[in-house]
Structure 1
Amino acid sequence: MDNPDCILIVDDDLEIRRLLVDYLARNGFEAIAARDGREMWQTLERRVVDLIVLDLMLPGTDGLTLCRDLRARQNLANIPVLMLTARGEETDRIIGIEMGADDYLVKPFNPRELLARIKTILRRTRALPPNLRPEPARCLCFAGWCLDTAERLLTAPDGVATPLSGGEYRLLRTLLDHPNRVLNRDQLMELIHGREAEPFDRSIDVQVSRLRQRLRDDSREPQLIKTVRGEGYVLASAVESRSTCP
């Protein structure tokens, strides 16, 4: 029997930690908890974690900083992060996505919705992109850039390699799987997060902006990820599949 996925809950509220650990355990997950960033890092040193549920407001180092620091560590950069925020303000959600969170959920929330979000993130993280045939291609090259799909490393034309967060990888992979094709926000949200975009949800725009920075693409006059006004975004480049990366 396969080992259950391990979910790390990082929240300073004892009742929330107990509730989520118990609820997730009853739904087939192994759930462990940490009350702050220090305990989170200690747990990650000794355990393999499949997903982190990270509260925005924490004592000491806040969740946004922890998420950013997590993405900066190559051995931990690919762990999916679901961020919790007590405020429903758009700014909190945008900043969370900018720091590398894969999704967000506003408190108070229904545990069933949290469970659904976790399952969706894990499924999307592990699933092959739509219509991708099993083939030995490991590297996708475009405009001098190369994406190692096994290591999730993006290598620039000058040879500098950068690990991608889960959200960055899925967005880039989606665009690479549909080169020179305009994808609207709803399509991108469905392909990346498995749900429709909410009204006034700018998370896709933020992820595109973040990915443009990774690609050194001028946001004022982007050459790789172009904005098609009123329609969406398009990767304006041919894509070549290779069995090995340079």
Structure 2
Amino acid sequence: MTLDFSPRPAAAPARSRVWAHASIEASLIVRNGEQAILAILIPLAVLVGAAFFGDRLGLGLPTAAPSVLALVMWSSCLTTLAISTGFERRYNVLERIAATPLGRPGILAGKALAIGMITLGQVVVLGLAALALGWRPAFTAASVVVAVATALLCMGAFAGLGLALSGSLRPEATLAVANLLYLVGMPLGILLPASRFPDWAARIVQALPTGALGEALRAASTGDALLWPILVAALWCAALLTLAWKVFTWTS
């Protein structure tokens, strides 16, 4: 028996490269304490507060649970992605990785997969927590399909905004703006339904991607399939991904 020690310098298959990059991205994000607070602790605190004190505030668990699921999509796809990418860009990590066989498309695909895995994990954990606290959604097949479609489009829109920020601003500015947008977006459709606003303000909230996502998930949990959020989400997704494509630079 002879052993073949001849070198094979070819790159790994594209699927393996993207998966390896996504795994590293996800592990780095999960090990970040600040991101753990945004990812689990704040949404869980909202759920617990809604379960025990929500009726007094007019925001019970049936409304708060789908709103919290919208919140984790908002935080992961905007804040987490923007901050991590901004500092990677500052220290020329993106430029160095782009020079490997992974390439720029592989970097973006890996980031998308990593954020998707983290968001899915958050949705599962917080969904189970909401069920344990007494949430009883009335999903239908149609409402689930519409909610998932809206969620994917809104996640694309949030990611586009996050990449536009991280690819054009200094990381310190990205950190500040992303956290500010996170706080501003929470009441604008994510946690508060549009019906809680005056008519003129409700129309503005419904036209935002945060409003579209929140309304779609809340409606889906009651068995309703709203179609207008898909249109709003699709328009924002196309616009913000185009913006990211135009303004994103790989080096600071």
Fold-level similarity (TM above 0.5) = no
| RCO comparison, higher one (Cα < 8 Å, 6+) | 2
TM-score, normalization: structure 2? Answer: 0.25
Of structures 1 and 2, the larger Rg is shown by 2
Larger strand share, 1 or 2: 1
Larger helix share, 1 or 2: 2
